[in-house]
Amino acid sequence: MTTSLQPILRARELVKVYRRGAAEVRAVDGISLEVAAGEFMAIMGRSGSGKTTLLDLLGCLLRPTAGELEVDGRSVIGASDGELAGVRQSRIGFVFQEFNLIPTLNAIENVMLPLRYGPRRGAGAARRRATELLELVGLGDRLRHRPTELSGGEQQRVAIARSLVNDPAVVLADEPTGELDSTTSTALLGMLRALNGERGVTFVIVTHDAGVAGSTDRVVRLQDGRVMADVQRDGRGWRQALGAAAGDGARTAPGERRVWARLGRMLNRARAGAAER
């Protein structure tokens, strides 16, 4: 996919510090990064490298301790909680490893839910939008199936359709293939690539898997909260970056994923409450 010159995300010397008693942990330590429109890229690193914390910062889920962050050319440093929520709702889509679908709602209802929190749309327009996206991800014949009636790959496709329903500038995906078998993962990555190539959807994928990262066009490898490599496909250092990241070994640790898990629970509670209303 050809990218534009204007970055969707621009980070400058981002720092995120956690304090545990007298100890200080610099989870993100001075990272500068740009993501252009139309990119299909991966962030890799072992457990504790800072990749999930960086994704949280880019997604406006966490506030940085220091540094600058722009979304669509607008600084979000100093923004209020409400303003950050507005940025997340309108400009950023999220895909979770655990899918985070509401079990009592069918596919089309799950995809429609984010529309309740943005500019008002008529019920008919919302349903048409959700239907279009489910058809786009190959689930046109599963519109009224609940999550328990769908396979893992199908549930993740519903989650991807949900992430696109507000036409975000960028989709941030945290280990989107982590709960899937290899065959389903390959098919899902092919679908993400098609969405990128045919629809221009920008994807930033956090993964521990060198195979997943190798399917993207750019890999940013982190270690100890810092960028150790930032390489384009077929560029110098591409194979080394993938090999080094794969050698790091582990999946993202559960502790490193707390913000995403908490956000998922919050979204589920909010959406369930909205559905009851």
Confidence check: pLDDT of 86 > 50: yes
* DSSP string of 227-241, one letter each residue: EEEEEETTSTTHHHH
Please list, in sequence order, all residues whose beta carbon lies within 8 angstroms of the beta carbon of residue 168, skipping any fewer than 6 positions away. 90, 91, 92, 93
Burial 28-61 (b: 16+ CB within 10 A, else e): bbebebebbbbbbbbbbbbbbbbbbbbbbbbbbb
Average pLDDT over residues 146-155: 95
- Between CA 59 and CA 53 the distance in angstroms is 10
3-class DSSP state of 176 = coil
- Between CA 36 and CA 244 the distance in angstroms is 25
Angle between helix axes 258-276 and 51-58 (nearest 10 degrees) is 40
pLDDT at 138: 92
pLDDT tens, 129-143? 999 999 999 999 999
CA Rg value for the chain: 18
Where does the pLDDT of residue 119 fall: very low under 50, low under 70, confident under 90, or very high at 90 and above? low
Two structure tokens written together for 125: 């327009």
- Between CA 262 and CA 260 the distance in angstroms is 5
pTM, two decimal places: 0.83
Q: Kindly state the percentage of the chain with pLDDT values over 70.
A: 85
Confidence check: pLDDT of 98 > 90: no
- Between CA 269 and CA 103 the distance in angstroms is 12
Mean pLDDT rounded to a whole number for the chain: 86
Short-list 42, 35, 32, CA closest to 4:
35
Domains of the chain (ranges, CATH numbers):
7-276 (3.40.50.300)
Confidence check: pLDDT of 250 > 60: no
pLDDT tens, 191-242? 999 999 999 999 999 998 888 999 999 999 999 999 999 999 988 888 888 8
Where does the pLDDT of residue 44 fall: very low under 50, low under 70, confident under 90, or very high at 90 and above? very high
